[in-house]
Homo-oligomer: A and B are copies of this chain.
Amino acid sequence: MPKNAIAPQSHWEAFASRRRDPASKREAVLQTAACLFLEKSYRRTSLDDVARRLNITKPALYHYFRNKEDILLGCYRWGTTLIEEGLNRIAADCGSGLAKVEAFIYSYANVMTVNFGRCVMRLDEGDLSSEALAEVRRYKRKIDRRLRSFIQEGIEDGSIAPCDPKLTAFAIAGALNWICMWYEPEGPLTPGEIAAQFARTLTRGLMRPARRAASRRVLAMRAAGGNNISS
């Protein structure tokens, strides 16, 4: 998994030499495209923009991607992979339902500060072809179902106060997804701070009064261990 180039750093070095790992060139294209898509939106980003920033010509892009949408889809896939990796770690981390929700929030919030992660939730799905759209929707639904199941689990094991899992999941996911709208790499808040604060704030509303103390431990653990999502 790649570095998360959040700032519009240039990736054109990957194209400096002809003989160079094609995979790294593909990645350079995706990183650059993700930046531009977030800056100006997919539609306003022309392939010339992408090529110019990489110091190559437009048709060269067609060596690595079938068409513009293929680049977009590449960004989506990279982002959903990041999210999924987080989810898999959490599934293994067998704690209470509340602990899982908290871990989910922490992990997901982190991804929402990585360019590829931001693409998943911020770019307009309408720019995807129907097949690609189906694929992306499948991913998103999966994530949603996981969160709901964590909440359900928490209600059942008593770590979470009774509530409507669907709407609660919407609220949590909304708060998290919106991070990709306001987060700025150069801003004062680090991804870690955001993740930690969101984990605390959003879980507070879920706990049963008696269990509040328990969550503190989870947070402490998280802050100590290097649960860094941006591999």
Contact = CB atoms under 8 A, between A and B. Distances in A.
Question: Which of the four size classes fits the interface of chain A?
Answer: 35 or more
Nearest to A177: B178
A204 to B, nearest CB: 4
Interface secondary structure of A, over-half rule: helix
B124 A41 contact: yes
A1 B144 contact: yes
Interface in A193-208: 194, 197-198, 201-206
A63 interface: no
A171 B167 contact: no
A7 interface: no
B179 A177 contact: no
A91 interface: no
A140 interface: yes
B2 A171 contact: no
A170 B144 contact: no
Contacts of A170: 175, 178-179, 182
A56 interface: no
Interface in A174-231: 174-179, 181-182, 189, 194, 197-198, 201-206, 209
Interface of A: 1-3, 40-41, 43-44, 124-127, 137, 140-141, 144, 161, 163-164, 167-168, 170-179, 181-182, 189, 194, 197-198, 201-206, 209
